[in-house]
């Protein structure tokens, strides 16, 4: 029996509707939201992302400001600007577009963002607060994955989970969130010997590596929930021999769906939920600030 497809787009719509309702409620209480995105120079990928973000904020009735600094800015210029944004009471959310210029140390910048305005949840302090089970704002992708798992009937408590890929922004935070929901979590990565021996034990398998086709049917325990965080552009040839480019995950969807119990597609799985999570965090940030300043 083929796996249930977990529909990220549909889930994102529900979160969107709920978030939108919360924005309206805050507006009724006199609290307007404003998200500022800092960009140094103009990396092409950032420009596209910023435009789509501006559009989403406008639909959600969140004010949006793109703060652009010159490409040659040094770390001090960036931190000074962030300090200013931290102090501005009208600004309720701050995010920083990546990549920054190579001479700027990203974690040092992230450490500077007010944890209560850090809507991406990337300030090391916010990651640490997840450790302490007192999250202020948690990383969006990790939050998105938990929401997707909650779409299935999986009980996290006591479940064996394997997280392949242990980066600071996705793999490690999701491992922590899952442990705090009492899953038994194994963190695998490039140096793991016999990956398949680990993944085949997983009732929940989360893959965040960035390597198309890494996970095939033989890696998956029958009935497992599979969450594919990878977003890879690959070139293939269509029936007419023409080169086409498409987006795939780290999981070989066609073979794995025959084995898994539930699976997220790429595109249409983790991606849309993560994007919506940034907006939900923007609302959450405003609420947390109001509670703090009360």
Whether omega for the bond prior to residue 183 falls within 30 degrees of 0, making it cis, is no
**Nearest approach, Cβ of residue 287 and its own copies (Å):** 17
What character string, x for contact with its own copies (CB under 8 A) and - otherwise, covers 147-166?
A: ----------xx-x-----x
**Nearest approach, Cβ of residue 17 and its own copies (Å):** 32
**Nearest approach, Cβ of residue 135 and its own copies (Å):** 10
Asked if 290 interacts with its own copies (CB under 8 A), we say: no
Q: Which CB atom, from 184 or from 255, has the smaller least distance to its own copies?
A: 184
Q: Which of 216, 207, 224 is nearest to 256 (CA)?
A: 216
Choice from 19, 53, 126, 264 touching its own copies (CB under 8 A): 126
Asked if 74 interacts with its own copies (CB under 8 A), we say: no
The span from the CA of 226 to the CA of 215, in Å, is: 10
What character string, x for contact with its own copies (CB under 8 A) and - otherwise, covers 100-119?
A: -----xxxx-xx---x----
Q: Which of 133, 294, 149 is nearest to 225 (CA)?
A: 149
What character string, x for contact with its own copies (CB under 8 A) and - otherwise, covers 32-61?
A: ------------------------------
Count of chain residues binding its own copies (CB under 8 A): 41
Under DSSP, the state recorded for 118 is: B
Choice from 20, 79, 192, 216 touching its own copies (CB under 8 A): 192
**∠200-205-207 over CA atoms, to 5°?**
115
Q: Which CB atom, from 210 or from 268, has the smaller least distance to its own copies?
A: 210
Instruction: Tell me which stretch binds its own copies (CB under 8 A): 7-15, 77-85, 124-132, 252-260.
Output: 124-132
Q: Which CB atom, from 194 or from 237, has the smaller least distance to its own copies?
A: 194
The span from the CA of 120 to the CA of 18, in Å, is: 19
Dihedral (C-alpha) 140, 141, 146, 149: value to the nearest 10 degrees? 140
Q: Which CB atom, from 72 or from 105, has the smaller least distance to its own copies?
A: 105
The span from the CA of 287 to the CA of 143, in Å, is: 18
Whether the Cβ atoms of residue 165 and residue 191 lie closer than 8 Å to each other = no
**Nearest approach, Cβ of residue 168 and its own copies (Å):** 5
Whether the Cβ atoms of residue 53 and residue 64 lie closer than 8 Å to each other = yes
Whether the Cβ atoms of residue 117 and residue 93 lie closer than 8 Å to each other = yes
Asked if 173 interacts with its own copies (CB under 8 A), we say: yes
As given in the structure block, the two tokens for residue 289 are: 């600030």
Q: Which of 268, 169, 243, 255 is nearest to 210 (CA)?
A: 169
**Nearest approach, Cβ of residue 188 and its own copies (Å):** 5
As given in the structure block, the two tokens for residue 179 are: 């442990």
- The residues of the shown chain that bind its own copies, judged by CB under 8 A, are 105-108, 110-111, 115, 123-129, 131-134, 157-158, 160, 166, 168, 172-173, 175-176, 179, 182-193, 198
């Amino acid at each position: 029996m083929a796996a249930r497809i977990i529909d990220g787009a549909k889930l994102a719509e529900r979160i969107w509707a709920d978030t939108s309702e919360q924005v309206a409620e805050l507006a009724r209480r006199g609290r307007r939201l404003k998200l500022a995105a800092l960009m140094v120079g103009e990396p092409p990928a950032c420009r596209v992302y910023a435009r789509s973000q501006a559009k989403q904020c406008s639909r959600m009735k969140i004010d949006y400001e793109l703060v652009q600094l010159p490409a040659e800015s040094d770390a001090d210029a960036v931190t000074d600007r962030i300090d200013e944004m931290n102090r501005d009471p009208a600004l309720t959310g701050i995010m920083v577009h990546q990549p920054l210029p190579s001479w700027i140390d990203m974690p040092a910048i992230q450490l500077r963002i007010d944890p209560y305005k850090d809507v991406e949840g990337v300030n090391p302090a916010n990651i640490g607060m997840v450790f302490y089970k007192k999250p202020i704002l948690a990383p969006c992708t990790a939050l998105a994955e938990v929401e997707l798992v909650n779409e299935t009937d999986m009980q996290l408590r006591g479940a064996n989970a394997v997280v392949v890929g242990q980066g600071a922004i996705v793999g490690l935070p999701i491992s922590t969130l899952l442990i705090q929901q009492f899953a038994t979590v194994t963190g695998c990565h490039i140096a793991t010997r016999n990956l398949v021996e680990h993944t085949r034990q997983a009732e929940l398998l989360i893959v965040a590596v960035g390597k198309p086709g890494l996970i095939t049917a033989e890696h998956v325990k029958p009935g497992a929930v599979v969450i594919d965080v990878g977003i890879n552009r690959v070139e293939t040839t269509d029936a007419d021999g023409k080169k086409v480019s498409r987006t795939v995950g780290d999981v070989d969807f066609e073979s794995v769906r025959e084995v898994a119990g539930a699976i997220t597609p790429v595109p249409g799985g983790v991606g849309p939920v993560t994007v919506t999570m940034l907006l939900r965090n923007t609302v959450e940030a405003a609420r947390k600030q109001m509670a703090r300043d009360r």
